[in-house]
Amino acid sequence: MSAARLALWRTRSLRFLMGASATILSGLTGILRNKWIAQHLEASGIGILAQVVSSQMWLGSVGGMSLVLPVTRSVGAATASGDWAGARRVVWAAMAMLTMSASIVIALGLFFAPLISSALLGSPRYAGLIRISMIGVAGVAFQQLVVGIFAGRSDLKGPLAFSAVGGLGSVAATLYLVPRAGLAGAVLAVSLLFPLGCLGAILLRRKEHALLLTRPRERALTAGMARGLLTVASSGLVAALVEQGVFLTIRSHYVRTFGIEANGFLQAGLAISQQVGSLFYAYLASYAFGKISGVSGAEATRDYTRKHWSAIMLLAAAALLVTSLGASPLLRLLYSHRFDPAQPLIAWAVVGEYGRIGLLTWALGSLPLGGPRLWLPLALLFPATLGVAYAVSVASGAGILSMPKAYAISGLAAPLVGGMIMSRRGVTLRVRDLAIFLGGAGALVLLAWRS
């Protein structure tokens, strides 16, 4: 390998690690938290906790209204033009909107907790856990603002501070509360992750963002400001709510059909595969998206996509193959020997994760190239195909493998359909790029089939 090419790969590796640093730290603290919870609550407890956390994320997304997109754009524009007064008004207007929307969502969650518990877990007996999780709903909602500030300023230390404070605080709470309060303690410990992360990150990075955190003299939230923020945020909110809503609906059916313990195995399988995938999502979102947003036209977008495709998909295939082959020791290390039945679930889940990485990489330039009209249909591809694939898997008698097999099917179908859409807009891949993707997918499917 030439010196220039070696330097290129070294630079790519450093960028990947920098973008993924917060995700790696979150993963490590999550491993500690899950290990402790698994030792005390077993698979059934993990299954209940997974449903509560899923509802927490969905409700938090509703309260957050996907304001991260307009906040990021406005703060980024201010960094370039020096319009700090305008960016400050956006930040404080978003804060006011989040306070109102999160308060409404939390109030409804507290009131309808028995109904939510029945819908998610088939019984109102877990309403107390739903109410505790509202602490996390507030954190998830306000994370939209915090992440928007950091992303707009290209502050990679901000997300790292969020992961450190929130993750370590949540681990400490888990170690203390779970042995003493059981499942309720686990829900509280997990719920503290987001509010602690938001507060800690803002406090640690307050000097770097002082111009945005100073309250403006004039009124920040006006009808025009709210309309402008929601116009930009609406597409992201629709995509987030649909995807999380589909997951939540499927998981609720899975619990009622196959039991809470099976849902615990499913959670372990999905968590491990998604943790590997999150390393790639973090890099694409924190670095590659900003770069591809700076290019102009379909040809430049195509060239940038091709430039990254081989490296990302080869690395993803290698990481997920290792995960599939090491599923059994990973489960024992991260959970316990009681989670051994989750091994085939991991094997199928990593197939879907590989496809999702491919979809995001190919569609990365869709928003700057074609706006929300191009980006939104691509964002909805995976949840739409997942719902159909799950119904087919259940009808075919796949049993507890219904969800991970559906995850695999939709994960492979979505990038193929999305690729056709992007190709029609001029963002095509080379034959060797497609061969790399299909080769990685074939190897992962073969391992899953033999598991």
Do 194 and 282 lie in one domain? The reply is no
Mean per-residue pLDDT of the chain: 88
pLDDT tens per residue, range 84-118: 888 888 899 999 999 999 999 999 999 999 999 99
Give a yes or no: residue 252 inside a domain. Answer: no
Confidence of residue 343 (pLDDT cuts 50, 70, 90): very high
Do 188 and 40 lie in one domain? The reply is yes
Residue reference for tokens 């207007």 = 93
pLDDT tens per residue, range 305-317: 998 899 899 999 9
Residue 292 has pLDDT above 70, yes or no: yes
CA distance 266 to 401: 9
* Burial classification of residue 167, based on how many CB atoms lie within 10 Å of its CB (0-12 exposed, 13-18 middle, 19 or more buried): buried
* Burial classification of residue 325, based on how many CB atoms lie within 10 Å of its CB (0-12 exposed, 13-18 middle, 19 or more buried): middle
Give a yes or no: residue 348 inside a domain. Answer: yes
Residue 5 has pLDDT above 70, yes or no: no
Residue 397 is predicted with a pLDDT of: 93
On the CB side of 290, CA atoms within 13 Å amount to 17
What sign does the dihedral 443-449-450-451 (CA atoms) show? Answer: positive
Do 318 and 374 lie in one domain? The reply is yes
Query: What is 366-435 written as a DSSP string?
Result: HHHHH-HHHHHHHHHHHHHHHHHHHHHHHHTT-GGGHHHHHHHHHHHHHHHHHHHHHHHTT----HHHHH
Residue 74 has pLDDT above 80, yes or no: no
As a whole number, mean pLDDT of residues 174-198 equals: 95
Confidence of residue 217 (pLDDT cuts 50, 70, 90): confident
Do 413 and 451 lie in one domain? The reply is yes
As a whole number, mean pLDDT of residues 432-444 equals: 96
Give a yes or no: residue 197 inside a domain. Answer: yes
Do 216 and 325 lie in one domain? The reply is no
Give a yes or no: residue 226 inside a domain. Answer: yes
Find, among 22, 104, 115, 111, the residue nearest to 64 by Cα. Answer: 104
Do 349 and 212 lie in one domain? The reply is no
Do 216 and 328 lie in one domain? The reply is no
Give a yes or no: residue 411 inside a domain. Answer: yes
As a whole number, mean pLDDT of residues 255-268 equals: 90
Please state, in angstroms and as integers, the Cα–Cα distance from residue 220 to each residue in 93, 97, 146, 374, following that order. 5, 10, 17, 32
Residue 15 is predicted with a pLDDT of: 55
Query: How long, in residues, is the chain?
Result: 451
Task: Give the structural domain span for 128.
Answer: 21-233
Domain boundary among 218, 233, 248: 233
Do 229 and 341 lie in one domain? The reply is no
CA distance 84 to 75: 8
Residue 10 has pLDDT above 70, yes or no: no
- What single DSSP character describes residue 2? -
Q: Terminus-to-terminus CA distance in the chain, angstroms?
A: 37
Do 63 and 184 lie in one domain? The reply is yes
Domain boundary among 215, 233, 251: 233
Query: What is 315-368 written as a DSSP string?
Result: HHHHHHHHHHHTHHHHHHHHT-GGGGGGHHHHHHHHHHHHHHHHHHHHTTTHHH
CA distance 131 to 59: 12
Cβ(251)–Cβ(270) below 8 Å: no
Do 169 and 225 lie in one domain? The reply is yes
Do 100 and 188 lie in one domain? The reply is yes
Q: How many domains does one find in the chain?
A: 2
- 19 versus 342: the higher-pLDDT residue is 342
Do 122 and 270 lie in one domain? The reply is no
Give a yes or no: residue 399 inside a domain. Answer: yes
- 409 versus 338: the higher-pLDDT residue is 409
Residue 57 has pLDDT above 70, yes or no: yes
Domain boundary among 216, 233, 250: 233
Confidence of residue 345 (pLDDT cuts 50, 70, 90): very high
Kindly report which listed range (1-5, 181-185, 352-356) carries the lowest average pLDDT score: 1-5
As a whole number, mean pLDDT of residues 311-332 equals: 94
Kindly report which listed range (23-27, 229-233, 270-274) carries the lowest average pLDDT score: 23-27
